[in-house]
Each structure stands twice: as structure tokens, then as C-alpha cells.
Chains A and B, each alone.
Chain A
């Protein structure tokens, strides 16, 4: 039976003191050297286990998927072969356009956008809390990752940014997290409105794009891309689609609900953008395993905005 006696009071006082110390350390961002060493140790010890579990689960599910869906796989291969031949034809066509684009850029003395330097990673863990939208990936400091690097899907959708780093793993704060803010721009030729896209803190709710000019021409269905106005994210990464626009700040501005593209996909493999500087003559070291995409292609697609025209 619980009784309030002298020992209980001492225990309560000790708890209060402990909570106050912990609260002080948390709210004052006081950095305990031993603490960070200890947390690094725990993090670096646990993440390899998560990696092993991830690979184990992947192998088991892969084995059973292959076993029970051979017919589907054969059909998929056939379909992919057809798609491949269509895409090869499109590449030839786009190469011509690219050459023409380059020539025109040179004529107009436009700054040429450099290629992204990227590294692929797998998601090995999710957030330990329902309120924090964080994932852990199996690439870290040893792979050349740094804090605040943008993370995208293979389709080019913005996922988030790197928050904490371990030796061979990293935590990515997702775009759905309440602490996440990124500059967004509407991808329509006649309406290049900007605003701030904020995380809703929930996977089943749209993000909010606010600080939009009161007279901005924004319509449901418009695609939102990263504006690239800050140095943290490159421009042209796809964020989501406008679902609803409403008046904000008593008519002084507008805000919009943005349905994120990443809500429709399962995050299993991601890409970390290691470098995205907008310079003409920047020369970065090419690494063998790094994959690259040409941001010229991205911006072309953004300007023409095929998604908007489809809607």
C-alpha cells in the first residue's frame, strides 16, 4: 500500500530535483560532453542492429514475394521492357532539346545549374514517438553526410532534412514534422507565388503553406516546389499539390493546404543530396557510388508544369 511518509517526501524531492535538472539541460540546450558521448555510443550500437533486422525482414519478405508472385513478376518484366523502349525513344528526343537548351542558355549567358551529388540510403527505423516525424537511414558521417542536407525520394519528392548524424546512420526529420519549415513556390508559368510550407505533425493531414500574398493566384491542383530561396534546399524539388486555399490574417495573406506527394508512397529507399550549389564552374569530386540527376531537367519540367496542365 502506498503511504506518504518521510521516505516518500525525500523520494518526491529527489524526483523534482531530477526533473528540474533534466528540464534545465533540455530547455537551455546545455551540452554535456559525457552525455553526447554516451548518446552517440548508444545510437551507434543500436543502429547496426536495426540495419541487420531491416535486411533480415527484407530478405524474408523478398523471398516470399518472389515465391508467390512469379506470374506477376513475368508480366511486370514484360511491361517494363515496353516502358523501357518508350523511354529510350523519349531520351533521344530530350537529348536534342537539352542540346538546344544549353545552346540558348549560352547565348543568353544564363547561369548553368550544376548536377546534384547524391547518395542512396535505406530507411531502417521509424520514429520512437507518435509526435515526432523522424526516420533513421543507413548512411552516416562515414558516407560524407552532414547535418541539414536535404533528403528526397527516387521520384524527386522532398522528404526532409538530416537532423542528427551517427557514424553509419542518420536521423531525417520529415516534412510532416511540426518543426519542419521549407520555402515553397507554385509551379505554374503565370503564377510563381511563394510561401512557407509547414509540417502538420500528422501523416494523415495536409501540410500548411502560409505567408502567401493576399492577391496571389493560387488554385487547388497547383504543384508546390521548393523555392530554393534559402541555402538549405535546392529549388525545384516537388513537395505536394494544393488542396484548398483560404484567407489568413483577416485577409492580409492567404494560406493553403498542401497534400504531400510522400503521403502516397512508402518510404523505403531515399536519396540524400550532398551538394546542390548553383555555380557555373564548381567542380566537385565525383564518387563512384554517387548517383546524379540533372537539375536542368527538373527545372524544365517545373516551368512547363505538366502536372498542372493535366488537371
Chain B
């Protein structure tokens, strides 16, 4: 229970960062999806079940700030968490490039799924332009953030292990 509360607090903190970042830095064109990064990293490290639970909670929190209750982020984040978990256990933790690559792919899938489910974008959007101008830069930004976050997590894990030893 303690673990869940701790992780939900982290999700709320990430949501607050996501909501405030454009107010603090108004010139930002892209807003990184911190919740997605958190979910994908959890999916890669801890597997599908864990990530999907937090995917649902993160999606619901994000939806609260767009619609009244359940919106598109809830199912999309659950689906992305499930797909990201396919990478779980398939690489050595020392491989620092896999999590950013996973987040890159997850961002592309996440945004495309969202657009496909959003009725006002579905038929009117120019997908090639949106992929080129929004989705790929956003995926690159998320991947860059993931690289540093995972690096810190990895080094912290190493330091923790050596400290115990």
C-alpha cells in the first residue's frame, strides 16, 4: 500500500510539473510527457502489470485536466504500458540506450493512438506533417529526458549496491 501511495504521489508531482512547465517557460513549443516516461521506465523494469496500473492512474490524472473523468489518455496509457512491457527482461540494465529508445517508440505509438481515437483529428489531420513537426521532436525530447533519468536511476542502483556491500 505504501508503495502505491508513494508512486501515486510521484505521478501527481509529475503531472504538476507537466502542467506548470509551459507557464514557467512560455516559449516552450513542446511539453514533455513526464507521466509517459515514468510509465514506460516502470514497464521496462517491473513488467506489464505494475506499469498498467500506474498507466491507468496517470491517464486518469491527465484526463481530469481535460475532461470530466475518463478520457482518451486512460486507455491509451494502459495500452502503451502493455506494449512497453514487451521489452521487460530482454536487455541488460547496463544498456543505457534501450529505455530512451523504448520511450521514443512509446511516444510515437502514444501520440498516434491518441490522434486515431480523437474524432476531430481522425479524418482532418495531416499525419505526415504532424509526425514530422510534432510527434518525432516530442519523442526525441522524451527520449533525451529518459536517458538522463535512467542514467541517474542506474548509477543510484550501483551506488546503493556498492554501499550495501
* Residues of chain A whose beta carbon lies under 8 Å from any beta carbon of chain B: 1-2, 11, 15, 18-19, 22-23, 25-26, 31-32, 35-36, 38-39, 42-43, 46, 49-50, 53-54, 57, 123-132, 134, 136, 164, 171, 178-179, 201-204, 266-268
Contacts and interface: CB of A to CB of B under 8 A. Distances in A.
B69 A39 contact: yes
B70 A171 contact: no
A26 B18 contact: no
Given A2-B85, A2-B90, A18-B78, A50 B66 contact: no
Interface in B62-80: 62-75, 78-79
A164 B67 contact: yes
Interface residues of B, number: 52
Contact of A22 (B68, B70, B82, B115): B70
B29 A22 contact: no
Secondary structure at the A interface, as helix, strand, loop or mixed, is mixed
Interface of B: 12, 15-16, 18-24, 26, 29-31, 48-49, 52, 56, 60-75, 78-79, 82, 85-86, 88-90, 111, 114-115, 118, 120-121, 124-125, 134, 138
B75 A178 contact: no
A261 to B, nearest CB: 16
B153 to A, nearest CB: 21
Instruction: Give 9 nearest A-B pairs by CB, closest first.
Output: A126-B22, A125-B19, A35-B69, A39-B69, A266-B26, A19-B75, A128-B62, A22-B75, A39-B64
Contacts of A54: 20, 23
8 contacts: A11-B49, A15-B78, A19-B78, A35-B70, A39-B64, A50-B16, A128-B15, A131-B118
